[in-house]
Amino acid sequence: MSGVNIPPKSWMHGRIDLPESFAVEWHKGADADSFSHDTLSKPGTVVRESGYDDLDEGVSAFARRHDLFHAMCITFELPESGLMFFVCLYRGQHECAFEQDAAGLFSAFCDHLLQLWRFQVQDMIRVDTGNGASDFGVARMDGSLLYIGAALGVAIQRELPQWDGSTLPPEVIVQLAKRRA
């Protein structure tokens, strides 16, 4: 979250060719992940890095376990929600590093991706509570989160500390299933 001094946390995450447990595993060492802190401190800038050796021991073990040797990330601030929009690509140790040309294309693609995502969120919300989009959440009936604002995420985390994002807590999903009937 932007402007808040807490360890990085991913409440909504997608992944390609990474295990389902990836984000939960990353959360355990997120505070020591200097690469994530670097990209979060440079909104709108593509950050690239290669290697395992300059990492915190726990972060290095995590990166080795998932073969995250080369990384390229970009983070955008979402001031209306209090959150950050973060996209990261990884390559293994025996693959090519991300070049400057790839960084330029990645930045342009992510600009468009962010804009499309914002349009979808705006279409779904269409209500103004005076708090921007910080106290909103949009989810499917199966509990999959499409959007969650910072205030709502913090409230859920406070009440259910084991909640790790991406889907609503099981206690809420059960209630959704009752409403469907």
Q: Does any domain span residue 110? A: yes
Q: What is the pLDDT of residues 168-179, one digit of tens each?
A: 998 888 888 776
Residue 60 in domain: yes
Phi, psi values for residue 137, rounded to 5°:
-140, 145
Residue 7 lies inside a defined structural domain of this protein: no
Which of these, 38, 13, 8, 35, lies nearest to 23 by C-alpha position? 13
- Domain assignment present for 36: yes
Q: Is residue 15 part of a domain?
A: no
* Separation of alpha carbons 176 and 55, rounded Å: 42
Say which residues have a Cβ less than 8 Å from residue 149's Cβ, sequence separation at least 6: 81, 82, 83, 131, 132, 133, 134, 135, 136, 137
Rg of the chain (C-alpha set): 17
Domain of residue 126: give its range. Answer: 22-180
124-162 tens-digit pLDDT: 666 656 666 677 788 888 888 888 888 888 889 899 988
Domain CATH number, residue 160: 3.30.450
Taking alpha carbons only, the member of 88, 84, 68 closest to residue 76 is 84
Task: Say if residues 39 and 75 touch (Cβ distance below 8 Å).
Answer: yes
The pLDDT of residue 124 is: 63
More confident residue, 173 or 46: 46
d(CA 147, CA 122): 10
How many residues comprise the chain?
181
pLDDT for position 8:
63
Question: Confidence band (pLDDT; 50, 70, 90) for 73?
Answer: very high
- Distance in angstroms (rounded) separating the CA atoms of residues 75 and 99: 18
| Cα–Cα distance for residue pair 80/128, rounded to 1 Å | 11
pLDDT tens track for 78-101: 876 777 888 999 999 999 999 999
Number of domains in the chain: 1
Residue 57: inside a domain:
yes
Q: What DSSP letter does each residue of 104-164 carry, written as one string? A: HHHHHHHHHHHHHHHHHHHHHH----SSTTTT-EEE-TTSBEEEE-HHHHHHHHHH-TT--
Residue 12 maps to a domain: no
On whether residue 103 sits in a domain, the answer given is yes
